[in-house]
Chains A and B, each alone.
Chain A
């Protein structure tokens, strides 16, 4: 205490408190970071085979059917990894799937997607959020527009030539995405939809049918 001053006006007291609080907060953050790193580490193909749920599953999750369903226990929707289904007409080995996801993530960064879209809700707000885009009912319409048999085929065609398939006045520009890059981006988006986002976004596309049928839930 400086010259019998009150502790509340003592610079020394506040300096020490600041150092302790900052140190404590930083230590707690580092501790939690270690725990979180363990929980968001990408799972392995083995985990998938054994049905072990991971917050971020292995790249081979693209070989499975994906759903996003309400969980009573958690009070919100969670990704549900279902039975195997072909992705671009085949099953991808762990090595192939990893390489594909790698190319997809690189392409998403190289094409600067997040300065129009959001991924996991982060980015810009000029275009729809991509977190669950793999599950978007809109792809049914795009399958017809692009004359595709599967959803992934429609997505890849759209990504290569978005200017040819406008759905609204605001159109996605042509980003010179090659066929290989388009396939990889679709894999990235399918993998993205399997990440456990604690229920974000909530009630994904639940109201579209009612809205399209006349904009009301009253039937």
Chain B
């Protein structure tokens, strides 16, 4: 499958390896959306696949496929940019390819076990072999160990190449960030009977990934894409990149506190979490301003004619700038203060934020990198958006925003009725779930999920065909 995405024009073996990661990422993206549709439909018709493929299975595969496809696309993007930034072939690329196959095999086994075995008895063996039962990092322990080994190989590839080649500011940030990103995974690889302790360290992985190291990662990636696509000045990109590191880590690391309001941890996290997470949207605004400002400035420098040598990548990077600010920044800030969060914590509000943030901050820029890979693989000087690219952009973006709005409305209703009026619990929960506002919102979420999926089909077809089409032009 996906062999029609050729990589023969790529100069570097490292970039071919990057394309291999992109292909798997795309397939997993599709799997993520399908599982999302099943889970969304179960909200409307709870009898659907009841006792066969229950909500917890669909939802687990939905969020795991998301995390894994983003990680695949991230690794692919690093293999894509490293040779160009360092001017070097990736060191140990053969080992890197072996690691790719090991990881892909492991992912396949984990998914098959999730889908067919689903759950196990309440013993250590289940944690080791079937499912760890911790949100986002459900992968069983054997797979954890495999992931650590593969990531060590990947990091060796990149670090050795960096040391050997030119050490640009972009690569310096990337290499430092990847080390933190990989190291943090270890905080999630242990078992404890103390659920507060469990969640404390679990957030080290989840939060310090998505609200710190992944954010710096996409900042770096967006910088690289702008460098290549609109030929922005390297000094401007690199200066902004350090400002982003300063602000993202300055707010994101202690912003971790907003997950420590209610899990048994002391009250001082209220103040720390509130203060620092309130600062989190700041660098995201800066990112947006930086993208547009640099673009306008560079346009002018080239005598007024816009120089965009990859239309789809530029479009997805622009969506990233808006989406990151809105999804991670605004939707995150909506419910981050403890006075609000005591009611919104654990409601559809979180789901609304999650959908727009993961799409806006991560999926968008990584789809942009898929197109960058295609452009390089076919040796196309100027890649223009096709009808399919445009349909994908419009439908996926519209679909995700639609889902977010629907879930936000569901969240408001849940917060006000279940939490504020009735005070949480079994009956309050189902009372809120049964109200027409919730049902309508869930129906709209389903519809917008289908729109997103149709957009994905356009994206899939486009990625398979755009290279050949444009290369012939």
Asked if B194 contacts A56 (CB within 8 A), the reply is yes
Shortest Cβ distance from residue B241 to the other chain A in the assembled complex, whole angstroms? 8
With a cutoff of 8 Å between Cβ atoms, the chain A residues found around residue B265 in the complex are 36, 39-40, 55
Asked if A122 contacts B346 (CB within 8 A), the reply is yes
Q: Interface residues of B toward A: which range?
A: 35 or more
With a cutoff of 8 Å between Cβ atoms, the chain B residues found around residue A22 in the complex are 245-246, 249-250, 253
Shortest Cβ distance from residue B352 to the other chain A in the assembled complex, whole angstroms? 10
With a cutoff of 8 Å between Cβ atoms, the chain A residues found around residue B50 in the complex are 171, 173
Shortest Cβ distance from residue A206 to the other chain B in the assembled complex, whole angstroms? 4
Q: Interface residues of A toward B: which range?
A: 35 or more
User: Quick check: is A129 within 8 A (CB to CB) of the other chain?
Assistant: yes
Asked if A200 contacts B262 (CB within 8 A), the reply is yes
With a cutoff of 8 Å between Cβ atoms, the chain B residues found around residue A21 in the complex are 246, 249-250
For window 114-134 of B, CB contacts with A under 8 Å fall at 118-124, 126-127, 130-134
Asked if A208 contacts B425 (CB within 8 A), the reply is yes
User: Quick check: is A218 within 8 A (CB to CB) of the other chain?
Assistant: no
Main secondary structure of the interface of B (DSSP, over half): helix
User: Quick check: is A150 within 8 A (CB to CB) of the other chain?
Assistant: no
Residue of B whose beta carbon sits closest to that of A108 = B133
Shortest Cβ distance from residue B220 to the other chain A in the assembled complex, whole angstroms? 12
Asked, given contacts A202-B343, A208-B425, whether A115 binds B135 with beta carbons under 8 Å apart, the answer is yes
Query: What 0/1 pattern do residues 62 to 80 of A give for CB contact below 8 A with B?
Result: 0000000000000010000
User: Quick check: is B384 within 8 A (CB to CB) of the other chain?
Assistant: no
Asked if B133 contacts A170 (CB within 8 A), the reply is no
Shortest Cβ distance from residue B443 to the other chain A in the assembled complex, whole angstroms? 15
With a cutoff of 8 Å between Cβ atoms, the chain A residues found around residue B199 in the complex are 119-120, 122
With a cutoff of 8 Å between Cβ atoms, the chain B residues found around residue A169 in the complex are 46-47
User: Quick check: is A133 within 8 A (CB to CB) of the other chain?
Assistant: yes
Asked if B60 contacts A198 (CB within 8 A), the reply is no
Shortest Cβ distance from residue B340 to the other chain A in the assembled complex, whole angstroms? 11
Q: List 15 A-B contacts (CB under 8 A).
A: A14-B242, A22-B253, A25-B253, A26-B253, A103-B122, A110-B131, A111-B133, A121-B345, A136-B426, A167-B426, A168-B430, A199-B342, A202-B342, A205-B422, A208-B427
Nearest 4 pairs between A and B by C-beta? Answer: A107-B122, A109-B133, A121-B346, A200-B262
Interface residues of A (CB under 8 A from B): 9-11, 14-15, 17-18, 21-22, 25-26, 28-29, 32-33, 35-37, 39-42, 55-56, 59, 76, 98, 101-116, 118-129, 131-133, 136-138, 163, 167-171, 173-178, 181, 184-185, 188, 192, 195-208, 211-212
